[in-house]
Structure 1
Amino acid sequence: MIDFTAARGGETRDELWCCEHSPVLTLGQAGKPEHLLVDLGIPLVKSDRGGQITYHGPGQVVIYLLLDLSRRRLKIRELVSAIEQAVIDLLARYGVCAERHGGAPGVYVGSAKVAALGLRVRKGCSYHGVSLNVDMDLSPFAAINPCGYPGLPVTQTSDLGIALSPAEMAIALAGQLAAQLEHMQ
Protein backbone atom coordinates (compact mmCIF):
# COMPACT_ATOMS: atom_id res chain seq x y z
CA MET A 1 0.00 0.00 0.00
CA ILE A 2 2.76 2.39 0.92
CA ASP A 3 4.71 1.62 -2.27
CA PHE A 4 1.58 1.81 -4.42
CA THR A 5 0.65 5.18 -2.89
CA ALA A 6 4.18 6.57 -3.21
CA ALA A 7 4.34 5.57 -6.89
CA ARG A 8 0.93 7.00 -7.81
CA GLY A 9 0.70 9.54 -10.58
CA GLY A 10 -2.17 11.81 -11.53
CA GLU A 11 -3.69 9.14 -13.77
CA THR A 12 -3.24 6.16 -11.45
CA ARG A 13 -6.57 4.44 -11.03
CA ASP A 14 -8.06 4.09 -7.57
CA GLU A 15 -8.17 0.54 -6.25
CA LEU A 16 -9.88 -1.53 -3.55
CA TRP A 17 -7.80 -4.43 -2.26
CA CYS A 18 -9.72 -7.24 -0.53
CA CYS A 19 -7.99 -9.76 1.71
CA GLU A 20 -8.01 -11.82 4.87
CA HIS A 21 -5.02 -11.80 7.20
CA SER A 22 -3.33 -14.47 9.24
CA PRO A 23 -3.76 -13.70 12.96
CA VAL A 24 -2.15 -10.34 13.71
CA LEU A 25 -2.65 -7.44 16.10
CA THR A 26 -2.02 -4.00 14.64
CA LEU A 27 -1.26 -0.87 16.61
CA GLY A 28 -2.08 2.44 14.91
CA GLN A 29 0.12 5.53 14.99
CA ALA A 30 -1.41 6.83 18.21
CA GLY A 31 -1.77 3.32 19.60
CA LYS A 32 -0.88 2.71 23.20
CA PRO A 33 0.82 -0.62 23.98
CA GLU A 34 -1.10 -0.86 27.27
CA HIS A 35 -4.22 -1.65 25.22
CA LEU A 36 -2.68 -5.10 24.69
CA LEU A 37 -3.93 -6.82 27.86
CA VAL A 38 -2.69 -10.38 27.36
CA ASP A 39 0.09 -11.73 25.17
CA LEU A 40 -1.52 -14.53 23.15
CA GLY A 41 1.57 -15.06 21.03
CA ILE A 42 -0.10 -13.29 18.11
CA PRO A 43 2.32 -10.96 16.31
CA LEU A 44 1.93 -7.25 17.13
CA VAL A 45 2.69 -4.96 14.19
CA LYS A 46 3.01 -1.19 14.42
CA SER A 47 1.09 0.42 11.59
CA ASP A 48 1.05 3.92 10.13
CA ARG A 49 -2.77 3.99 10.06
CA GLY A 50 -4.90 5.98 12.43
CA GLY A 51 -6.52 4.40 15.45
CA GLN A 52 -5.46 2.26 18.34
CA ILE A 53 -5.16 -1.54 18.50
CA THR A 54 -7.20 -4.12 16.64
CA TYR A 55 -7.12 -7.77 15.68
CA HIS A 56 -7.18 -9.18 12.15
CA GLY A 57 -7.58 -12.85 11.36
CA PRO A 58 -9.09 -15.47 9.10
CA GLY A 59 -12.82 -14.98 8.57
CA GLN A 60 -12.55 -11.19 8.67
CA VAL A 61 -12.81 -9.19 5.44
CA VAL A 62 -10.27 -6.39 5.11
CA ILE A 63 -10.62 -3.90 2.28
CA TYR A 64 -7.89 -1.38 1.65
CA LEU A 65 -9.06 1.81 -0.09
CA LEU A 66 -6.29 3.22 -2.28
CA LEU A 67 -7.90 6.45 -3.40
CA ASP A 68 -6.76 9.78 -4.76
CA LEU A 69 -8.77 12.01 -2.43
CA SER A 70 -7.51 15.19 -4.09
CA ARG A 71 -8.75 14.10 -7.51
CA ARG A 72 -12.08 13.07 -5.98
CA ARG A 73 -12.25 16.34 -3.99
CA LEU A 74 -12.98 14.19 -0.97
CA LYS A 75 -12.09 15.08 2.61
CA ILE A 76 -11.03 12.38 5.08
CA ARG A 77 -14.14 12.79 7.25
CA GLU A 78 -16.31 12.34 4.14
CA LEU A 79 -14.38 9.18 3.28
CA VAL A 80 -14.83 7.81 6.81
CA SER A 81 -18.58 8.50 6.59
CA ALA A 82 -18.78 6.83 3.17
CA ILE A 83 -17.01 3.70 4.44
CA GLU A 84 -19.27 3.51 7.47
CA GLN A 85 -22.36 4.05 5.32
CA ALA A 86 -21.31 1.29 2.93
CA VAL A 87 -21.15 -1.18 5.83
CA ILE A 88 -24.44 0.10 7.30
CA ASP A 89 -26.19 -0.22 3.93
CA LEU A 90 -24.75 -3.68 3.32
CA LEU A 91 -25.94 -4.98 6.69
CA ALA A 92 -29.37 -3.39 6.16
CA ARG A 93 -29.76 -5.46 2.97
CA TYR A 94 -29.71 -8.50 5.27
CA GLY A 95 -32.07 -7.05 7.87
CA VAL A 96 -29.40 -5.96 10.36
CA CYS A 97 -29.73 -2.46 11.82
CA ALA A 98 -26.23 -1.00 12.23
CA GLU A 99 -25.10 2.48 13.20
CA ARG A 100 -22.25 4.86 13.88
CA HIS A 101 -21.27 5.85 17.40
CA GLY A 102 -20.20 9.49 17.71
CA GLY A 103 -16.48 9.94 18.27
CA ALA A 104 -15.75 6.24 17.74
CA PRO A 105 -15.21 5.47 14.04
CA GLY A 106 -16.56 2.15 12.86
CA VAL A 107 -19.90 0.41 12.64
CA TYR A 108 -21.84 -1.03 15.53
CA VAL A 109 -24.83 -3.30 16.05
CA GLY A 110 -26.15 -2.18 19.41
CA SER A 111 -23.07 -1.69 21.55
CA ALA A 112 -20.96 -4.27 19.69
CA LYS A 113 -18.49 -3.28 16.99
CA VAL A 114 -18.80 -5.24 13.75
CA ALA A 115 -16.49 -3.14 11.54
CA ALA A 116 -13.39 -1.10 12.33
CA LEU A 117 -11.55 1.37 10.18
CA GLY A 118 -8.20 3.04 10.14
CA LEU A 119 -6.82 5.21 7.38
CA ARG A 120 -3.70 7.05 6.38
CA VAL A 121 -3.50 9.92 3.89
CA ARG A 122 -0.25 10.78 2.19
CA LYS A 123 0.09 13.30 -0.66
CA GLY A 124 -3.69 13.50 -0.92
CA CYS A 125 -4.10 9.73 -1.30
CA SER A 126 -5.60 7.29 1.18
CA TYR A 127 -4.55 3.80 2.10
CA HIS A 128 -5.44 1.25 4.79
CA GLY A 129 -9.19 0.83 5.18
CA VAL A 130 -11.96 -1.17 6.81
CA SER A 131 -12.25 -4.58 8.45
CA LEU A 132 -15.58 -6.39 8.76
CA ASN A 133 -15.92 -9.33 11.14
CA VAL A 134 -17.67 -12.08 9.16
CA ASP A 135 -17.08 -15.61 10.49
CA MET A 136 -14.00 -15.66 12.67
CA ASP A 137 -12.63 -16.55 16.09
CA LEU A 138 -13.47 -13.43 18.11
CA SER A 139 -11.60 -14.57 21.24
CA PRO A 140 -8.39 -12.59 20.50
CA PHE A 141 -10.41 -9.37 20.91
CA ALA A 142 -10.66 -10.24 24.63
CA ALA A 143 -6.88 -9.82 24.88
CA ILE A 144 -7.06 -6.16 23.83
CA ASN A 145 -9.05 -3.01 24.40
CA PRO A 146 -10.51 -3.01 20.87
CA CYS A 147 -9.81 0.34 19.22
CA GLY A 148 -8.63 1.56 22.62
CA TYR A 149 -12.00 1.05 24.37
CA PRO A 150 -11.85 -1.16 27.48
CA GLY A 151 -14.52 -3.86 27.42
CA LEU A 152 -15.82 -2.97 23.94
CA PRO A 153 -17.85 -5.94 22.72
CA VAL A 154 -17.37 -7.14 19.17
CA THR A 155 -19.66 -9.16 16.94
CA GLN A 156 -19.64 -10.65 13.47
CA THR A 157 -22.06 -11.00 10.60
CA SER A 158 -22.42 -14.77 11.02
CA ASP A 159 -23.70 -14.20 14.57
CA LEU A 160 -26.13 -11.60 13.21
CA GLY A 161 -27.82 -14.14 10.93
CA ILE A 162 -26.00 -13.28 7.70
CA ALA A 163 -24.93 -16.52 6.01
CA LEU A 164 -22.37 -15.11 3.57
CA SER A 165 -18.85 -16.54 3.50
CA PRO A 166 -15.93 -14.14 3.89
CA ALA A 167 -15.33 -14.28 0.12
CA GLU A 168 -18.98 -13.52 -0.63
CA MET A 169 -18.98 -10.71 1.93
CA ALA A 170 -15.80 -9.23 0.43
CA ILE A 171 -17.49 -9.01 -2.98
CA ALA A 172 -20.65 -7.52 -1.47
CA LEU A 173 -18.76 -4.95 0.63
CA ALA A 174 -16.46 -3.96 -2.24
CA GLY A 175 -19.55 -3.36 -4.38
CA GLN A 176 -21.17 -1.27 -1.67
CA LEU A 177 -17.98 0.78 -1.18
CA ALA A 178 -17.71 1.37 -4.93
CA ALA A 179 -21.35 2.49 -5.03
CA GLN A 180 -20.76 4.94 -2.16
CA LEU A 181 -17.67 6.37 -3.86
CA GLU A 182 -19.44 6.71 -7.23
CA HIS A 183 -22.33 8.48 -5.51
CA MET A 184 -19.87 11.05 -4.13
CA GLN A 185 -18.41 12.04 -7.51
Structure 2
Amino acid sequence: MTAATIPAHADLSGPLLRMLGRVEHGPTFDAMRAFTEARTPDTPDEIWLCEHPPVFTQGVAGRPEHVLGAGSIPVVATNRGGQVTFHGPGQVVAYPLIDLRRLGIFVKEYVYRVEEAAIRTLAEFGVTGHRVAGAPGIYVRLDDPFAHGALTGPADPRDPFRGLGKISALGIKVSNHCTYHGVALNVAMDLEPFDRINPCGYPGLRTVDLATLGVSTDWATAADLLARYLARLLSR
Protein backbone atom coordinates (compact mmCIF):
# COMPACT_ATOMS: atom_id res chain seq x y z
CA MET A 1 0.00 0.00 0.00
CA THR A 2 1.27 3.43 -0.86
CA ALA A 3 0.72 6.36 1.43
CA ALA A 4 1.76 9.89 2.15
CA THR A 5 3.63 10.02 5.44
CA ILE A 6 3.39 13.02 7.74
CA PRO A 7 5.62 13.16 10.86
CA ALA A 8 3.39 13.68 13.86
CA HIS A 9 6.02 15.52 15.90
CA ALA A 10 9.49 16.95 15.57
CA ASP A 11 10.74 14.28 17.97
CA LEU A 12 10.26 10.52 17.67
CA SER A 13 7.75 10.09 20.51
CA GLY A 14 4.62 10.31 18.38
CA PRO A 15 3.06 8.02 15.77
CA LEU A 16 3.63 8.42 12.05
CA LEU A 17 0.55 9.60 10.16
CA ARG A 18 -0.13 7.80 6.90
CA MET A 19 -2.73 9.18 4.50
CA LEU A 20 -3.86 6.18 2.44
CA GLY A 21 -6.67 7.88 0.53
CA ARG A 22 -9.53 5.69 -0.74
CA VAL A 23 -8.69 2.02 -0.27
CA GLU A 24 -10.66 -1.23 -0.15
CA HIS A 25 -11.57 -2.38 3.34
CA GLY A 26 -10.39 -6.00 3.01
CA PRO A 27 -6.75 -5.39 2.03
CA THR A 28 -6.50 -2.59 4.60
CA PHE A 29 -7.80 -4.88 7.34
CA ASP A 30 -5.28 -7.55 6.29
CA ALA A 31 -2.44 -5.02 6.23
CA MET A 32 -3.08 -3.62 9.71
CA ARG A 33 -3.49 -7.11 11.16
CA ALA A 34 -0.19 -8.16 9.55
CA PHE A 35 1.50 -4.99 10.81
CA THR A 36 0.31 -5.74 14.35
CA GLU A 37 1.33 -9.41 14.26
CA ALA A 38 4.81 -8.56 12.95
CA ARG A 39 5.60 -5.62 15.18
CA THR A 40 8.21 -5.76 17.95
CA PRO A 41 8.60 -3.61 21.08
CA ASP A 42 10.69 -1.23 18.95
CA THR A 43 8.22 -0.85 16.07
CA PRO A 44 7.10 2.78 15.78
CA ASP A 45 3.40 3.46 16.21
CA GLU A 46 1.42 4.58 13.18
CA ILE A 47 -2.00 6.07 12.43
CA TRP A 48 -3.56 5.28 9.07
CA LEU A 49 -6.18 7.63 7.59
CA CYS A 50 -8.41 6.46 4.75
CA GLU A 51 -11.90 6.19 3.33
CA HIS A 52 -13.51 3.03 2.00
CA PRO A 53 -15.86 2.19 -0.86
CA PRO A 54 -19.32 1.25 0.48
CA VAL A 55 -19.15 -1.70 2.89
CA PHE A 56 -20.92 -2.93 6.02
CA THR A 57 -18.58 -4.36 8.64
CA GLN A 58 -19.71 -6.67 11.42
CA GLY A 59 -17.91 -6.95 14.76
CA VAL A 60 -17.06 -10.21 16.52
CA ALA A 61 -20.31 -10.15 18.50
CA GLY A 62 -22.30 -8.94 15.50
CA ARG A 63 -25.85 -10.27 15.22
CA PRO A 64 -27.18 -10.83 11.70
CA GLU A 65 -30.60 -9.41 12.58
CA HIS A 66 -29.02 -5.95 12.85
CA VAL A 67 -28.49 -6.02 9.07
CA LEU A 68 -31.99 -5.15 7.84
CA GLY A 69 -31.27 -5.30 4.12
CA ALA A 70 -27.77 -4.78 2.76
CA GLY A 71 -28.79 -4.78 -0.88
CA SER A 72 -25.76 -4.65 -3.16
CA ILE A 73 -23.40 -3.43 -0.41
CA PRO A 74 -21.16 -6.24 0.88
CA VAL A 75 -21.27 -7.30 4.53
CA VAL A 76 -17.90 -8.45 5.85
CA ALA A 77 -16.94 -9.98 9.17
CA THR A 78 -14.08 -8.42 11.13
CA ASN A 79 -12.38 -9.12 14.45
CA ARG A 80 -13.08 -5.72 16.00
CA GLY A 81 -15.48 -5.15 18.85
CA GLY A 82 -19.00 -3.89 18.36
CA GLN A 83 -21.86 -4.61 16.02
CA VAL A 84 -22.54 -3.57 12.44
CA THR A 85 -21.61 -0.22 10.92
CA PHE A 86 -21.26 1.31 7.48
CA HIS A 87 -18.18 2.75 5.80
CA GLY A 88 -18.34 4.77 2.62
CA PRO A 89 -16.95 7.73 0.70
CA GLY A 90 -17.02 10.99 2.62
CA GLN A 91 -16.18 9.30 5.93
CA VAL A 92 -12.78 9.65 7.59
CA VAL A 93 -11.61 6.30 8.96
CA ALA A 94 -8.62 6.38 11.31
CA TYR A 95 -6.74 3.23 12.28
CA PRO A 96 -4.36 3.88 15.21
CA LEU A 97 -1.71 1.14 15.46
CA ILE A 98 -0.56 1.82 18.99
CA ASP A 99 1.50 -0.12 21.55
CA LEU A 100 -0.52 0.54 24.72
CA ARG A 101 2.08 -0.96 27.03
CA ARG A 102 4.76 1.37 25.69
CA LEU A 103 2.37 4.31 25.92
CA GLY A 104 1.58 3.32 29.52
CA ILE A 105 -2.21 3.22 29.29
CA PHE A 106 -4.95 0.59 29.38
CA VAL A 107 -7.83 0.01 26.97
CA LYS A 108 -10.35 2.18 28.83
CA GLU A 109 -8.02 5.18 28.70
CA TYR A 110 -7.24 4.45 25.04
CA VAL A 111 -10.95 4.52 24.15
CA TYR A 112 -11.34 7.79 26.05
CA ARG A 113 -8.46 9.39 24.14
CA VAL A 114 -9.71 8.24 20.74
CA GLU A 115 -13.16 9.62 21.52
CA GLU A 116 -11.54 12.83 22.76
CA ALA A 117 -9.75 13.23 19.42
CA ALA A 118 -13.11 13.03 17.64
CA ILE A 119 -14.64 15.55 20.06
CA ARG A 120 -11.78 18.00 19.50
CA THR A 121 -12.01 17.57 15.75
CA LEU A 122 -15.72 18.37 15.82
CA ALA A 123 -15.01 21.41 18.00
CA GLU A 124 -12.84 22.82 15.20
CA PHE A 125 -16.08 23.13 13.20
CA GLY A 126 -18.08 24.51 16.13
CA VAL A 127 -19.88 21.19 16.73
CA THR A 128 -20.19 19.84 20.27
CA GLY A 129 -19.65 16.10 20.54
CA HIS A 130 -21.03 14.08 23.44
CA ARG A 131 -20.34 10.69 24.97
CA VAL A 132 -23.21 8.38 25.97
CA ALA A 133 -22.49 5.98 28.82
CA GLY A 134 -22.23 2.39 27.63
CA ALA A 135 -22.41 3.32 23.95
CA PRO A 136 -18.93 3.98 22.50
CA GLY A 137 -18.68 6.68 19.87
CA ILE A 138 -19.58 10.34 19.69
CA TYR A 139 -23.04 11.87 19.41
CA VAL A 140 -24.50 15.31 18.71
CA ARG A 141 -27.69 17.07 19.71
CA LEU A 142 -29.95 17.08 16.70
CA ASP A 143 -31.85 20.20 17.79
CA ASP A 144 -28.69 22.27 18.34
CA PRO A 145 -25.38 20.53 17.49
CA PHE A 146 -23.52 23.78 18.21
CA ALA A 147 -24.73 24.15 21.81
CA HIS A 148 -21.91 23.90 24.31
CA GLY A 149 -23.81 22.57 27.30
CA ALA A 150 -23.22 19.04 28.54
CA LEU A 151 -25.93 16.42 28.35
CA THR A 152 -27.92 16.63 31.57
CA GLY A 153 -29.79 13.99 33.50
CA PRO A 154 -29.78 10.21 33.07
CA ALA A 155 -30.64 8.81 29.68
CA ASP A 156 -34.12 7.38 29.24
CA PRO A 157 -33.53 3.58 29.26
CA ARG A 158 -36.43 3.21 26.82
CA ASP A 159 -34.77 5.61 24.35
CA PRO A 160 -31.17 6.42 25.41
CA PHE A 161 -30.50 8.25 22.13
CA ARG A 162 -33.54 10.52 22.16
CA GLY A 163 -32.64 13.78 20.47
CA LEU A 164 -29.17 12.54 19.51
CA GLY A 165 -27.47 11.53 16.29
CA LYS A 166 -24.29 9.48 15.99
CA ILE A 167 -21.50 11.17 14.05
CA SER A 168 -18.51 9.01 15.02
CA ALA A 169 -18.32 5.24 15.54
CA LEU A 170 -15.63 3.33 17.41
CA GLY A 171 -14.55 -0.30 17.07
CA ILE A 172 -11.19 -1.62 18.20
CA LYS A 173 -9.11 -4.76 18.48
CA VAL A 174 -6.23 -5.20 20.95
CA SER A 175 -3.66 -7.95 20.38
CA ASN A 176 -0.64 -8.32 22.67
CA HIS A 177 -1.30 -4.80 24.00
CA CYS A 178 -1.32 -3.35 20.46
CA THR A 179 -4.36 -1.75 18.86
CA TYR A 180 -5.85 -1.84 15.41
CA HIS A 181 -9.18 -0.96 13.77
CA GLY A 182 -10.26 2.41 15.16
CA VAL A 183 -12.67 5.30 14.66
CA ALA A 184 -14.83 6.67 11.84
CA LEU A 185 -15.96 10.29 11.54
CA ASN A 186 -18.80 11.15 9.16
CA VAL A 187 -17.98 14.22 7.07
CA ALA A 188 -20.11 14.34 3.90
CA MET A 189 -21.62 10.95 3.07
CA ASP A 190 -24.57 9.27 1.46
CA LEU A 191 -26.24 8.35 4.76
CA GLU A 192 -28.98 6.16 3.24
CA PRO A 193 -27.09 2.86 3.87
CA PHE A 194 -27.32 3.47 7.61
CA ASP A 195 -31.09 2.98 7.22
CA ARG A 196 -30.36 -0.60 6.11
CA ILE A 197 -28.88 -1.54 9.51
CA ASN A 198 -29.36 -0.98 13.21
CA PRO A 199 -26.25 1.19 13.56
CA CYS A 200 -23.90 -0.32 16.14
CA GLY A 201 -26.76 -2.62 17.15
CA TYR A 202 -29.20 0.13 18.20
CA PRO A 203 -32.57 0.06 16.40
CA GLY A 204 -33.71 3.52 15.38
CA LEU A 205 -30.40 5.25 16.10
CA ARG A 206 -30.02 8.15 13.69
CA THR A 207 -26.66 8.67 12.00
CA VAL A 208 -25.54 12.13 10.88
CA ASP A 209 -22.54 13.77 9.25
CA LEU A 210 -21.05 17.25 9.30
CA ALA A 211 -22.81 18.13 6.05
CA THR A 212 -26.20 17.25 7.59
CA LEU A 213 -25.41 19.64 10.43
CA GLY A 214 -24.70 22.44 7.95
CA VAL A 215 -20.91 22.28 8.18
CA SER A 216 -19.12 22.59 4.86
CA THR A 217 -15.66 21.04 4.79
CA ASP A 218 -13.76 18.47 2.78
CA TRP A 219 -12.44 15.02 3.61
CA ALA A 220 -8.78 16.08 3.62
CA THR A 221 -9.32 18.88 6.13
CA ALA A 222 -11.25 16.69 8.55
CA ALA A 223 -8.79 13.81 8.12
CA ASP A 224 -5.81 16.05 8.86
CA LEU A 225 -7.43 17.44 12.02
CA LEU A 226 -8.47 14.02 13.33
CA ALA A 227 -5.05 12.56 12.57
CA ARG A 228 -3.20 15.29 14.40
CA TYR A 229 -5.46 15.16 17.45
CA LEU A 230 -5.05 11.38 17.59
CA ALA A 231 -1.28 11.72 17.28
CA ARG A 232 -1.19 14.32 20.05
CA LEU A 233 -3.34 12.27 22.42
CA LEU A 234 -1.59 8.97 21.65
CA SER A 235 1.99 10.21 22.03
CA ARG A 236 4.33 9.57 24.92
TM-score by length of 2: 0.76
Matches within 5 A, 1:1-185: 1-110=32-141, 111-182=164-235, 185=236
Rounded Cα–Cα distance in structure 1 between residues aligned with 2:103 and 2:124: 27
Kindly state the Cα deviation for residue 103 of structure 1 after the two structures are TM-superposed: 0.3
Regions of 4+ moved over 6 Å: none
1:140 is paired with a residue whose SS is: helix
Larger Rg: 1 or 2?
2
What is the CA–CA distance in structure 1 between the aligned matches of 2:191 and 2:135, rounded to whole Å?
Answer: 20
Aligned-residue offset at 1:130: 0.3
Match of 2:17 in 1: none
Tell me, in whole angstroms, the C-alpha distance in 2 between the residues paired with 1:57 and 1:133. 9
Give the Cα separation in 1 of the matches to 2:120 and 2:222.
13
Q: What is the CA–CA distance in structure 2 between the aligned matches of 1:41 and 1:71, rounded to whole Å?
A: 42
Matched residue count: 183
Residue 95 of structure 1 deviates from its aligned partner by: 1.2
- RMSD, matched Cα: 0.9
User: What is the CA–CA distance in structure 1 between the aligned matches of 2:213 and 2:231, rounded to whole Å?
Assistant: 24
TM-score normalised over the length of structure 1 = 0.96
**Structure 1 position 89, deviation (Å):** 1.3
TM-superposed deviation, 1:162 = 2.6
State the alpha-carbon separation in 2 of the partners of residues 91 and 3 from structure 1: 31
Q: Which string of whole-angstrom CA distances, capped at 9 and with x for unpartnered residues, describes residues 34-57 of structure 1?
A: 100113210000000000000000
Q: Per the alignment, in what secondary structure is the counterpart of residue 158 of structure 1?
A: coil
Q: Which runs of 5+ in 1 are unaligned?
A: none
Q: What is the one-letter code of the residue matched to 1:155?
A: V
Q: Whole-Å Cα distance in 2 between the matches of residues 22 and 94 of structure 1?
A: 25
Structure 1 position 93, deviation (Å): 2.1
* SS of the residue 2:105 aligns to: coil
Query: Equivalent pairs: percent with the same residue?
Result: 51
C-alpha separation between the residues in 2 aligned to 1:162 and 1:68?
Answer: 34
CA distance in structure 1 between the partners assigned to 2:41 and 2:186 by the alignment: 34
SS in 1 for 2:61: coil
What amino acid does structure 2 have at the position aligned with 1:159? T
Gaps of 5+ in 2: 1-31, 142-163
Structure with more helix by fraction: 1
